[in-house]
Amino acid sequence: MKKVKEETEILLETILEGIQNLKGKNISLIDLESIHHTECSYFVICHGTSSTHVDSVARSVETTVKEHLKTDVWHRDGYKNAYWILLDYGDIMVHVFQKEARDFYNLEGLWADAKIKTIEETE
């Protein structure tokens, strides 16, 4: 169990690196481990400034994870319109939104009973 936790933490750090490489905005980490009957342990949420930026951030996550950990995303959805791209890594779900979609769906509000951490933006 400890090894799985360590692997999840490494994957999480690598996902955050991929987002930060392309300046994903307002990164939030929702820790779902304390909530019963969830499909995964973490949501990583950020937004981009345009559909092109959203697409680029999501692709950066996929590329960074593939290069560093030799791991492919299990499922991806949303590249066609890049309004909300979802990357499923099993234990971690990555949500890359356009700002308007993020505000509308308000995942942080829906999961407000979970631990939510804001990741500081890099320069």
Whichever domain contains 11, its CATH number is 3.30.460.10
Summarised one tens digit per residue, pLDDT across range 22-64 is 999 999 999 998 887 788 899 999 999 999 999 999 999 999 9
If you average pLDDT over residues 85-103, what whole number do you get? 97
The pTM of this model reads 0.93
Strand intervals (E) in the chain = 25-31, 42-48, 75-77, 84-88, 92-98, 115-118
Count of domains forming the chain: 1
Please check whether residue 76 lies inside any domain of the structure. yes
Query: Does the pLDDT at position 14 exceed 80?
Result: yes
Please check whether residue 123 lies inside any domain of the structure. no
Nearest to 91 by CA among 41, 49, 32: 41
Please check whether residue 10 lies inside any domain of the structure. yes
Residue 72 backbone dihedrals phi, psi, to 5 degrees: -95, 150
If you average pLDDT over residues 3-9, what whole number do you get? 83
Please check whether residue 42 lies inside any domain of the structure. yes
- Could you tell me the residue range of the domain that residue 29 belongs to? 2-118
Q: What pLDDT, on a 0 to 100 scale, did the predictor assign at position 39?
A: 83
If you average pLDDT over residues 13-24, what whole number do you get? 97
Q: Which residues of 87-100 are buried (b: 16+ CB within 10 A; e: fewer)?
A: bebebbbbbbbbee
